Homo-oligomer: A and B are copies of this chain.
Amino acid sequence: MLARGLAIDFPTIQADTDALEAARLLQSERLPGLVVLAHDGKPMAVLPAFQVARFVVPVWIQVDPALAHVLDEASADHLCDRLAGLRVRDLLPQEKRTDALLVRADNTAMEIAEVMEHEHSPLVAVVDDDGRYLGAITLFELLGALLPG
């Protein structure tokens, strides 16, 4: 049970795509995350869904969550306006490597599960030896393969 056999067709998005459009894709398709492609068409990152929540929360609230209480609702209602004009690449974590959720075609189910657990992501992208996109694996495919019939 290797990554290449578990991979499914899964939508991708370009790093230069508008962040608002990316959030809409995630929401309308109820995706567990976004597979982000670089200029060369190869995956450069996977954004787990929870990281999209991060970008509707201002930094000053991330630093002091108690401040979320004092933000009035009208402000909150329009926070996604902040995404307008940003691109997907602006949403990628700056403080860590972005390729942690790319797995190789010959990775085992166990390696994939380990990556998902470690990165807190129910989604990985599968790439070949040249970094080309082969598809994605969600936790649902993984469990479907691992769970006893």
A contact set with B: CB distance below 8 Å:
1-2, 20, 23-24, 26-27, 30, 32, 48-54, 56-57, 61-62, 65, 68-69, 71, 73, 75-81, 84, 108-111, 113-122, 139-140, 142-144, 146-148
Contacts and interface: CB of A to CB of B under 8 A. Distances in A.
Nearest to A83: B147
Contacts of A147: 20, 23-24, 27, 80
Number of copies: 2
Nearest to A30: B140
A56 B109 CA distance: 10
Given A53-B139, A77-B1, A68 B108 contact: yes
A117 B56 CA distance: 9
Contact of A68 (B20, B69, B110): B110
A132 to B, nearest CB: 22
A49 B122 contact: yes
